[in-house]
Amino acid sequence: MIKVGIIGGTGYTGIELLRLLHNHTKVEVIAISSRSEAGKRVDEIFPSLVGSCDLIFSLPDDIILNECDVIFFATPYGVAMKGVGAFVKKGIKVIDLGADFRLNDKDEYKKWYGLDHTQDELLLLAIYGLCEINREKIKNANLIANPGCYPTTVALGLKPLIDNKLIDLTNIIADCKSGVSGAGRGANKATLLCEVSESFKAYGVSGHRHYSEIKQELSLLAGENVNLTFVPHLVPMIRGMQATIYVDLLDSDVDVQSIFESAYKDEYFITVLGAGNTPDTRNVRGSNFCQIGVQKAPYGNKLIVMSVIDNLVKGASGQAIQNMNILFGLDENLGLKQIGLIP
């Protein structure tokens, strides 16, 4: 059995890790930490786990974490940067669900997160964990930077087009919507029920932290710089994320449907919908699947790509477990075969 530890176990991604790993036949969660809840039973804080989890929250420096084969950091940015190194030196694999190792450029990290990145060696060591793109590199990683939810949705929606050089890279528009759980579990007036219910708004229009990550990964895919417009929106639902991406085809006669079906035919977690069908966030709610639909605009060379995921699963904890499965040579879908919850 793979011994697993979770640092930062009281946020939505931490509890989602526990939920998903409970059904994983090859792992045992032996430790979960929380400074604020140390000494309390996990199922006291999360009653959904009563009868399924008897763990006690420990402190992040508890020695039991040194017995783990892999540790998930489900922590805010800045935390993993300080704590990952000690575990990596001991030969323990680390998967960081935060942002500390996603950006290759330290100046970009400081620009968007307001912190100096102090771990040059770890930054060079980290592998960006978008499974469908970096699978081979992930297999031998010691430190994995789990991607953000918006970057996952957008990159998966554009990969077949970029790989086949089908679009104008100077004019990519990603119009994205997320459920409120993407803002985290902390108390925040802007995410109160009365603030978000029956409302819908754009945010981060002048600059969102995921912009740099999306641009970095698309540029790496393309082998050249891309020009991206990215606007996120908050919608009044708990889970779910959709990226509606507008691009210009270089050849308006290309069979885009076949391109997508061929690109993802062997990817378990990517479902390309039939021609004319559009994805719905509820179809992937609670699952690690990404559904993609593509349609050409009635006139001209504009293509619309629609990509949906559950922001807490494929956009966070599920993809982290998928990374773990690859890392330890397991079937990628182990513990992740749940289908979407309807209604």
* Domains present along the chain, CATH in parentheses: 2-147+314-327 (3.40.50.720), 150-310 (3.30.360.10)
pLDDT given for residue 179 in this prediction: 94
Each residue of 151-207: pLDDT tens digit? 999 999 999 999 999 999 999 999 999 999 888 877 788 888 888 899 999 999 999
For residue 161, CA distances in Å to 135, 192, 299, 339 come to 19, 39, 19, 27
Report whether pLDDT(284) > 90.
yes
pLDDT given for residue 213 in this prediction: 98
Each residue of 212-236: pLDDT tens digit? 999 999 999 999 999 999 999 999 9
Longest Cα pair distance anywhere in the chain, in angstroms?
63
Question: Average pLDDT of 85-103?
Answer: 97
Report whether pLDDT(92) > 90.
yes
User: Is residue 176 flagged as an active site residue?
Assistant: no
Catalytic residue among 53, 68, 149, 290: 149
**Average model confidence (pLDDT) across the chain:** 95
Amino acid at 21: L
Provide the percentage of residues in the chain whose pLDDT is more than 70: 100
* CB contact set of 155 (below 8 Å; sequence gap of 6+): 130, 133, 147, 214, 217, 218, 221
User: What three-state secondary structure class fits 143?
Assistant: strand
Q: What is the pTM of this model?
A: 0.96
The confidence band for 299, taking pLDDT boundaries of 50, 70 and 90, is confident
* Other residues' Cβ atoms within 10 Å of the Cβ of residue 78: 15
